[in-house]
C-alpha cells in the first residue's frame, strides 16, 4: 500500500471516530432508540457484505486470510446486531412500563 494512501486512510478513520463521538453525544435521550435501530440495520448490511466476502473465498477466491477476516466480520456484526436489538427491546420495555404507571 502506498504511504500516502495509508496516511489518508488513517486520517479518515480518525476523523470518523471524532465525528461519530460528537454526533452521539449531541443526540437527545428520546432519540437513542431510533438511532440504535438504524445502527442495527447498518450492522445487518455489514453481515451481508461479510457473507459475500466469505463466499468469494470459499468459491475459489484469494487466500485463507480473507476467509478468516470475513468470518471474524460476520461474528462481530452478529454480536452487534443481537446486542443492539436486546438493548433496544429493553429500552422500549422501560418506556412502556412508564406509560402503564411505573410497573417494570
The confidence score (pLDDT) of residue 25 equals: 79
102: left (phi over 0), alpha (psi -120 to 50) or beta: left
Cell of 91: 429500552
The confidence score (pLDDT) of residue 100 equals: 62
Distance CA 89, CA 55 (A): 32
Distance CA 75, CA 81 (A): 10
Prediction pTM value: 0.55
Angle, nearest 10°, between helix axes 32-58 and 64-99?
160
Rounded to the nearest angstrom, the gap between the alpha carbon of residue 98 and the centroid of all alpha carbons in its chain is 29
Per-position pLDDT tens, the chain of length 104:
688 888 888 898 899 888 888 877 787 766 766 776 677 777 788 888 877 877 776 666 567 777 788 888 888 888 888 888 887 788 778 877 766 655 55
Burial of 77 (0-12, 13-18, 19+ CB in 10 A): buried
The confidence score (pLDDT) of residue 92 equals: 77
The confidence score (pLDDT) of residue 77 equals: 85
The confidence score (pLDDT) of residue 59 equals: 64
The confidence score (pLDDT) of residue 8 equals: 85
Where along the chain do its domains lie? 31-99
Amino acid at each position: 500500500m502506498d504511504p500516502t494512501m495509508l496516511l489518508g486512510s488513517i486520517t479518515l478513520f480518525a476523523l470518523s471516530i471524532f465525528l461519530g463521538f460528537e454526533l452521539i453525544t449531541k443526540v437527545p435521550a428520546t432519540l437513542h432508540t431510533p438511532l440504535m435501530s438504524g445502527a442495527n440495520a447498518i450492522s445487518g448490511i455489514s453481515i451481508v457484505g461479510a457473507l459475500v466476502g466469505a463466499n468469494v473465498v470459499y468459491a475459489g477466491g484469494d487466500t485463507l486470510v480473507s476467509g478468516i477476516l470475513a468470518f471474524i466480520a460476520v461474528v462481530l456484526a452478529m454480536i452487534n446486531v443481537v446486542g443492539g436489538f436486546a438493548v433496544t427491546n429493553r429500552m422500549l420495555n422501560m418506556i412502556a412500563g412508564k406509560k402503564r404507571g411505573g410497573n417494570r
